[in-house]
């Protein structure tokens, strides 16, 4: 929104398009940014520069006090502090939230990767009029910093030149406390993936223990959890109307602290933090209750009591975005680049993967146990319109760096383009029942017509040579569609040699814990894909992503996975060892030994040496793994696989 424009009048945190209702996009119109942003035409002209698009600091929100004053501002309404470098692209949460607030008339300044050892680093703009906003970045800072073996990573793809060490461990907590040292009473709202998945008491893999809600450890007043568009607008409007941040107890998609629970409507009281520390089964029960309260239409407030009469209260999730709202978010005037101040350091590596990709959906009805999407984006599928996606793709074709290839069209799961069923549109996802696992729901809507139509439109755009589908696809959902047009289109147009899928394992016992389809479903899809590939004259294969040491996997199951690799002649260079990240069912099992959905015991490899053996089995051809493989085979009583025969994994 241009400076001085009137704020949007939406109430209740709805994401209204800037300047009122949705505008129909005329045929042949330029990039959707142009109709809202006064500098869009100049940017469009700069894209035609023969040496590449020149991105200027003026296209970004202010990052210094001088830039703020050049806009004629004396003070920011919000100051956004983030653990990532500043990339103004809708694949980065910082860009979406800051541009959305700008579109509603608020002045936002950006402090990216402040020096957490220097309190003055967060005083760049002085005190904001309404609040500080804090995010650890697009990844949990601990996952960003450490491998599953707890070794320090060498690169941070969200930092200039990939340099490691520009953000602290537990970044949201550190930034929050840094702000509180100087601004003791300024409203402080935290969000992003790190805050979202640590909103209540949670198991922390790196310290191997339970941590309190991040709300308490960070000193924040509110958590905006989930994707945050609805809640951040509601928070901004409430603060702007003069409400005290302590009175913001009514906004869906938020977590707040209180001294009592009288304001809650039919609250669900979880075990206290002290009970959770004393009893792992209590944590499993608590997490199971949280899993049942993720429906924005039917959930109740969750209450977690801490010592000294402090309550952390989670309101029900915000409602999902409508297609109109989703389009509006992606039509905001992003620079779609990293800030030019990073150019000398080599730019921000993370943008390379997303710059020429399209986000077409959100939410995932797959509900894999090891994935936190259910807690962050939810199960209800949200989609952008074809018109919005085509406009973004057309803008890509005018970028001098575009070579004709759209790298991806998807989201958490590419081929989920419609709600699971009509019930979800009115009552949300079912509580206590999954859409696909262990067997598909009889009410599940299975169709790829809308996705196929979108892909065909994108392929037809002038300047587009090929459209790839690189987001994960649910092969079981694809097979449920009696019309295999999608699989045929995928093989003929959207894959180049290899299709990467994530069966994760081959043991049905492990797959059941994972919430994944049985191995025979994966095998049937592979045969169908390869059959169609041959029909269209292409030699293409499925390459699997595999996971070792997931809950439910004993050494015998790990040996079965190794035999699978042997039989298909597959020698995986990379294997994902199960990583217990916050707020997943699998992490709860890892910590408690119980499935929170049933409270039944589940075997879980937690010993680092056993985890190393399970990983080594999948990569048994690597000479460095020989000792571990031999030990694993002996422990699993599978010495028949030690020998010189064609079925043996290692020689004696």
Q: What is the mean pLDDT of residues 89-110?
A: 98
The highest-confidence range among 9-23, 31-45, 175-189, by mean pLDDT, is: 175-189
Domain count for the chain, please give it.
Answer: 2
125 three-class SS: coil
- What does the block give as tokens for 318? 């915000």
The DSSP code sequence of 477-516 is HHHH-S-THHHHHHHHHS-BSEEEEEEE-S-HHHHHHHT-
Indicate if the pLDDT at residue 602 is higher than 50: yes
Instruction: Find tokens 């492990």 and name the residue.
Output: 510
Report yes or no: 81 and 171 within 8 Å, Cβ to Cβ: no
In a domain, 151, yes or no: yes
632 three-class SS: helix
In a domain, 542, yes or no: yes
Q: What is the mean pLDDT of residues 495-501?
A: 92
Indicate if the pLDDT at residue 48 is higher than 80: no
Indicate if the pLDDT at residue 45 is higher than 80: no
36-50, 303-317, 495-509, 518-532: which has the minimum mean pLDDT? 36-50
Instruction: Find tokens 């339970």 and name the residue.
Output: 210
User: How many whole angstroms from its chain centre is CA 84?
Assistant: 15
Q: What is the CA radius of gyration of the chain?
A: 25
Domain ranges, residue 69:
58-251
In a domain, 132, yes or no: yes
* pLDDT at position 211: 98
Q: What is the mean pLDDT of residues 586-615?
A: 97
Indicate if the pLDDT at residue 219 is higher than 80: yes
**Could you say which of 205, 233, 251 is where a domain stops?**
251
* pLDDT at position 301: 98
pLDDT band of residue 14 (cuts 50, 70, 90) is low
**Could you say which of 192, 223, 251 is where a domain stops?**
251
Indicate if the pLDDT at residue 634 is higher than 90: yes
* pLDDT at position 572: 86
In a domain, 89, yes or no: yes
DSSP-derived letter for residue 316 is P
From the number of C-beta atoms within 10 Å of its C-beta (0-12, 13-18, 19+), residue 598 rates as exposed
Sheet holding 498-504, edge to edge: 498-504, 541-548, 576-577
**Could you say which of 204, 221, 251 is where a domain stops?**
251
Indicate if the pLDDT at residue 596 is higher than 80: yes
* pLDDT at position 285: 98
In a domain, 465, yes or no: no
Q: What is the mean pLDDT of residues 494-518?
A: 94
The pLDDT tens digits of the residues spanning 189-211 come to 999 999 999 999 999 999 999 99
Q: What is the mean pLDDT of residues 12-25?
A: 41
Indicate if the pLDDT at residue 573 is higher than 90: no
Cα(473)–Cα(346) distance, integer angstroms: 33
pLDDT band of residue 425 (cuts 50, 70, 90) is confident
In a domain, 569, yes or no: yes
pLDDT band of residue 84 (cuts 50, 70, 90) is very high
- What does the block give as tokens for 444? 């599940």
* pLDDT at position 121: 97
In a domain, 175, yes or no: yes
Indicate if the pLDDT at residue 124 is higher than 50: yes
325 three-class SS: helix
The pLDDT tens digits of the residues spanning 335-372 come to 999 999 999 999 999 999 899 999 999 999 999 999 99
Indicate if the pLDDT at residue 7 is higher than 70: no
pTM, entire model: 0.90
Report yes or no: 478 and 486 within 8 Å, Cβ to Cβ: yes
The residues, ordered by sequence, that sit 6+ positions from 163 with a Cβ below 8 Å of its Cβ are 155, 156, 345
Cα(453)–Cα(269) distance, integer angstroms: 47
Domain CATH code at residue 166: 3.40.50.280
Indicate if the pLDDT at residue 20 is higher than 80: no
pLDDT band of residue 437 (cuts 50, 70, 90) is confident
* pLDDT at position 585: 97
The DSSP code sequence of 389-428 is HHHHHHHHHTSTT--SEE-EEESSSTT--S-S-HHHHHH-
Cα(313)–Cα(299) distance, integer angstroms: 13
Indicate if the pLDDT at residue 571 is higher than 80: yes
Report yes or no: 234 and 195 within 8 Å, Cβ to Cβ: no
In a domain, 94, yes or no: yes
Q: What is the mean pLDDT of residues 430-435?
A: 86
Q: What is the mean pLDDT of residues 562-586?
A: 92
Return the ∠ at Cα 408 (arms to 510 and 574), rounded to 5°. Answer: 40
* pLDDT at position 54: 67
Indicate if the pLDDT at residue 46 is higher than 50: no
* pLDDT at position 52: 47
* pLDDT at position 26: 31
* pLDDT at position 422: 84
* pLDDT at position 37: 37
What's the chain's average pLDDT? 91
- What does the block give as tokens for 368? 């894999």
pLDDT band of residue 15 (cuts 50, 70, 90) is low
Report yes or no: 330 and 323 within 8 Å, Cβ to Cβ: no
pLDDT band of residue 47 (cuts 50, 70, 90) is very low
* pLDDT at position 310: 97
Indicate if the pLDDT at residue 23 is higher than 60: no
Indicate if the pLDDT at residue 178 is higher than 50: yes
Instruction: Find tokens 């009514």 and name the residue.
Output: 250
Instruction: Find tokens 């899809």 and name the residue.
Output: 525
Indicate if the pLDDT at residue 222 is higher than 60: yes
- What does the block give as tokens for 492? 């003929």
């Amino acid at each position: 929104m241009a400076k001085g424009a009137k704020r949007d009048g939406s109430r209740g945190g709805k994401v209204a398009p800037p300047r009122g209702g949705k505008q129909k996009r005329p045929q042949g119109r330029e990039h959707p940014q142009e109709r809202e942003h006064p500098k869009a035409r100049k940017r469009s002209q700069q894209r035609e520069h023969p040496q590449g698009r020149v991105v200027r600091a003026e296209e970004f929100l202010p990052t210094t006090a001088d830039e703020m004053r050049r806009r004629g501002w004396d003070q920011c309404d919000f100051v956004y502090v983030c653990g990532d470098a500043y990339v103004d692209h809708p694949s980065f949460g910082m860009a979406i939230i800051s541009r959305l607030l700008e579109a509603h008339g608020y002045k936002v300044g950006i402090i990216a990767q402040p020096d957490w050892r220097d309190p003055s680093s967060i005083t760049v703009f002085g005190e904001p009029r309404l609040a500080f906003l804090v995010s650890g970045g697009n990844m949990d800072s601990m996952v960003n910093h450490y491998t599953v073996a707890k070794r320090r990573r060498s690169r941070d793809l969200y930092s200039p030149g990939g340099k490691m060490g520009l953000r602290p461990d537990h970044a949201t907590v550190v930034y929050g406390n840094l702000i509180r040292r100087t601004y003791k009473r300024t409203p402080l709202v935290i969000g992003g993936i790190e805050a979202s998945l640590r909103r209540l008491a949670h198991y922390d893999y790196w310290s191997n223990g339970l941590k309190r809600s991040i709300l308490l450890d960070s000193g924040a007043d509110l958590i905006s959890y989930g994707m945050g568009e609805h809640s951040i607008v509601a928070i901004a409007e409430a603060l702007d109307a003069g409400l005290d941040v302590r009175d913001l107890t009514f906004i869906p998609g938020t977590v707040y602290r209180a001294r009592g629970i009288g304001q809650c409507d039919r609250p669900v009281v979880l075990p206290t933090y002290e009970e959770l520390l004393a009893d792992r089964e209590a944590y499993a029960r608590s997490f199971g209750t949280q899993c049942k309260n993720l429906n924005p239409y039917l959930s109740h407030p969750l209450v977690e009591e801490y010592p000294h009469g402090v309550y952390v209260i989670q309101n029900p999730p915000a409602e999902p975005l409508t297609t109109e709202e989703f389009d509006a978010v992606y039509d905001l005037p992003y620079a779609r680049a990293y800030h030019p101040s990073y150019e000398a350091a080599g730019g921000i590596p993370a943008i390379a993967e997303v710059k020429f990709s399209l986000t077409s959906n959100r939410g995932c009805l797959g509900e894999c146990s090891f994935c936190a999407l259910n807690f962050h984006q939810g199960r209800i599928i949200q989609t952008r319109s074809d018109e919005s996606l085509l406009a973004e793709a057309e803008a890509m074709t005018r970028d001098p760096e575009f070579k004709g290839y759209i790298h991806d069209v998807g989201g958490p799961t590419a081929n989920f383009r419609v709600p699971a069923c009509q019930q979800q549109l009115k009552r949300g996802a079912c509580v206590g029942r999954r859409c696909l696992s262990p067997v598909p729901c009889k009410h599940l809507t299975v169709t790829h017509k809308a996705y196929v139509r979108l892909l065909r439109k994108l392929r037809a755009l002038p300047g587009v040579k090929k459209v790839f589908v690189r987001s994960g696809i649910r092969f079981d959902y694809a097979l449920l569609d009696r019309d295999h047009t999608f699989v045929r289109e995928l093989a003929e147009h959207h894959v180049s040699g290899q299709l990467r899928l994530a069966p994760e394992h081959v043991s049905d016992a492990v797959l059941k814990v994972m919430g994944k389809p049985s191995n025979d479903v994966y095998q049937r899809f592979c045969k169908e894909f390869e059959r169609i590939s041959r029909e269209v004259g292409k030699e293409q294969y499925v390459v699997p992503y595999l996971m070792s040491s997931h809950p439910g996997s004993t050494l015998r199951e790990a040996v079965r996975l190794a035999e699978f690799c042997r039989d298909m002649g597959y020698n995986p260079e990379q294997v994902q060892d199960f990583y217990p990240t916050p707020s997943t069912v699998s992490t709860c099992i890892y910590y408690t030994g119980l499935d929170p959905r049933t409270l039944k015991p589940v075997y879980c490899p937690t010993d680092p040496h056993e985890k190393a053996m399970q990983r080594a089995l999948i990569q048994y051809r690597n000479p460095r793994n020989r000792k571990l493989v031999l030990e694993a085979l002996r422990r699993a009583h599978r010495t028949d696989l030690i020998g010189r025969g064609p079925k043996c994994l290692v020689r004696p």
